[in-house]
Structure 1
Amino acid sequence: MGRPRGAGPCRRGRAVGAEPRTGHARATACRRRPGRSEPGAGGMSELLDAALRRFFAERRETNHHDAELWDALELATEGGKRFRPMLLLSVHEALGGTDLERAAEVAAAMELLHTAFVVHDDVIDGDRVRRGRPNVSGTFAARAASAGADPGRAAGYGDAAGILAGDLALAGAVRLVAGCGAAPDVVTRLLDLLEHALRVSAAGELADVRLSLGTDGADLGTILTMEEHKTAVYSFELPMRAGAVLAGADAATCDRLGELGRLLGVAFQLRDDLDGVFGEEAVTGKSTISDLRAGKCTPLVAHARTTPWWPQIAPFIGDAALGEPEAARVRELLDECGSRGFIEDLAAGYAEAARGVADAVGLEPGLQAWLAATAVRRAA
């Protein structure tokens, strides 16, 4: 996978709170650094939680008119594994970064960015549940219905709340990065990375919706590119590059981490696509029927389209009235035609390629193991 255009803000920079080292010395130090059982040790998780609590408390104090939206957003950040911010903090520490408090502010921005995308994505998909409970749109729609609004108006109110809450989260992410307290040149590079991720992810989301129209039969390569843009850049490449920038990493290290992030991100999204059909909603928090109803053009569907089973599968894809019995039949067919196994193998292949890059960069074994596990299981 080539480096995406515009991913150049990760250049040489002064380490935040540390003396700069050469790339060779940094990689060597990374290899010799004592391993941890998992990212989050050493108070990183506590610093992240504190940064998020402080951010939400400040927002509620400064303007009570939008407090209910901030309350909903704060609730939306709970229950997930927060692997994106922990990825930033872990890479930052692995590369010799020492200013965890500033890194935690930027890590909190990663969680807000993810929350914004999730809230907006639920509106786009018409979903009302996330992680087994009502999402932002579902919560506000239920409130409107309880107040006596008819179903259509209640749904519209819920969608409006989701859009507005997502907008607030995006603005909050930018504010946290801009005010993290790092050196001005470091902040500029971080904002460049954030803008790049926003633009690429927006294009990827729109491509995802466009492919679901069924007006063009996109091949597997096109769909994988869409998934890289939609998920890999903001979920993996952005936090890994940001952690490296905060640690003062050189350009070569940043570029390799960007490559690693894209490989991991595609593996993760492939796993997510599988969970969107074969997963357990109580475990993943993701509906196992909404992707089928929406006619999502996933790699799973793209592969099935090339098999003799497709004529049996096609009538169910994009059926807004699809019920669980029909969805169960689709799962059987996707298993029988080999599409499920093909995507599982493809995800494992991306994860294996990522391990090779991680080893070349010199990431410690404990962090490598966590990255590999994250890429092959859903960690929303």
Structure 2
Amino acid sequence: MIALSPADRAGVDDAIAAALDRLQARAAALGDGAGALASAVAHAAGGGKRVRPALVITAYRALADGADGADGAGDAQGDARADAAVWQTAAAFELLHSAFVVHDDLIDRDLERRGEPNVAGRFRVRAGHYGAAADDAALVGDAAAVLAGDLLLFEATRLIATVDAEPAARDALLQIFDDAILVSAAGELADVENAARTDVPDTDALLGVAHDKTAAYSFEAPLLAGAALAGASAPARAALGAAAGDLGLAFQLVDDLIGTFGTRRQAGRAPGADLREAKRTPLIGFARGGDAWPQVRSAL
């Protein structure tokens, strides 16, 4: 697995912290509820492997080095500006991921993430402390998850919109980000609709949904964003996008296996959640062609 250098990790973490600190400082003036929401947002965006930032920075470093020429020379001020831009862009993709995770937990009716209460879970507990009935506490938790995801989406977009890059590169970043959000939303909706169907879509369609809900924003967009900042050629960006789509699909298939057969530690939530929710993952599509399909179908 690719990893961030200590300097790049620190740069990304600082950019994320600055965005979250800004949010918490502004929310503090709006009362206890807003402060608790901003704190939950910061908690949701904390930690993680920083996979998407690593992809942004790896693509940028590889393609920028190739564009620098033999000596790779550059002035220190320009290098510092470029580093700040790529770190801020990488931070935006981490916040985008956090936003989708918060909304995905809400869609899946999960109250845990990484073995501890997620945004909805935290706010259910908070509502219980002031005497809310169970149904009301659930509504509060769901509302908090919607709003937390919305705040993270805006912060991610704000970082992209304000990145200190050439106008053409910033326009390209906004287009990449815009496309990633739309494709991911379409993939997530298709995933939910498929779970509500009485039939099972064909495996190719399920693979398409798996690509759209994950590969677009987790692999294609981060790699293309790094390429855009590096000023990569159109053929290089096309090749990178095609490879990223395959990587993202593989990533989602592994996640489907964990969601079906993984332990609580691996999945960060109760085992077998995908089966209980009757999710029509590609795994189910492949199972349809096996001898055990009647038993699987009955269970679903």
TM-score (norm 1): 0.71
Which letter does structure 2 place at the counterpart of 1:180? V
Q: 2:289 aligns with which of 293, 306, 329?
A: 306
Q: 1:1-380, aligned counterparts within 5 Å? A: 38-64=2-28, 65=30, 66-96=34-64, 98=79, 99-317=82-300
What is the rounded CA distance, in whole Å, between the counterparts of 2:174 and 2:234 in structure 1? 17
Q: Which contiguous aligned blocks of 4+ residues in structure 1 show a shift greater than 3 angstroms? A: none
What is the CA–CA distance in structure 2 between the aligned matches of 1:215 and 1:195, rounded to whole Å?
A: 33
How far apart are residue 284 of structure 1 and its match?
3.6
Measure the CA separation in 2 of the matches of 1:67 and 1:185: 37
Q: Distance in 2 between matches of 1:38 and 1:216?
A: 39
- Worse-superposed segment, 251-260 or 70-79: 70-79
CA distance in 2, matches of 1:195, 1:79: 25
Query: What residue number does 1:343 align with?
Result: none
If each structure's helix is expressed as a fraction of its own residues, which one has the higher value? 2
Q: Please, which runs of 5 or more residues in structure 1 have no aligned partner?
A: 1-36, 318-380
Please give the secondary structure, in 2, of the residue aligned with 1:81: coil
SS at match of 1:127: coil
Normalising by structure 2, what TM-score?
0.90
Higher RCO (CA < 8 A, seq sep 6+): 1
SS at 1:257 equivalent: helix
Partner SS for 2:235? helix
Q: Write the letter of the residue equivalent to 1:81.
A: K
Q: Percent identity?
A: 43
Q: Which residue of 2 aligns with 1:376?
A: none
CA distance in 2, matches of 1:310, 1:284: 25
Post-superposition Cα deviations, 1:115-161, rounded to whole Å, max 9, x if no partner, equal 11100011111000011111111111111123221111111110100
Change in 2 beyond 3 A, CA 1:216/1:53: same
Q: Is the 8 A contact 2:86 2:226 kept in 1?
A: yes
What's the CA shift for 1:38? 4.5
Does the Cα contact within 8 Å between 1:85 and 1:110 map onto a contact in 2? yes
Q: Distance in 2 between the 1:92 and 1:171 partners?
A: 24
* Contact map agreement 1:91 1:243 (CA 8 A) in 2: yes
Q: Number of residues paired by the alignment?
A: 281
Amino acid at match of 1:277: T
Equivalent residue for 1:31? none
Deviations 1:260-314 (A, max 9, x none): 1100000000000000011122134144222111110011111212222122222
| Distance of 1:78 and 1:62 partners within structure 2 | 19
CA distance in 1, matches of 2:270, 2:60: 34
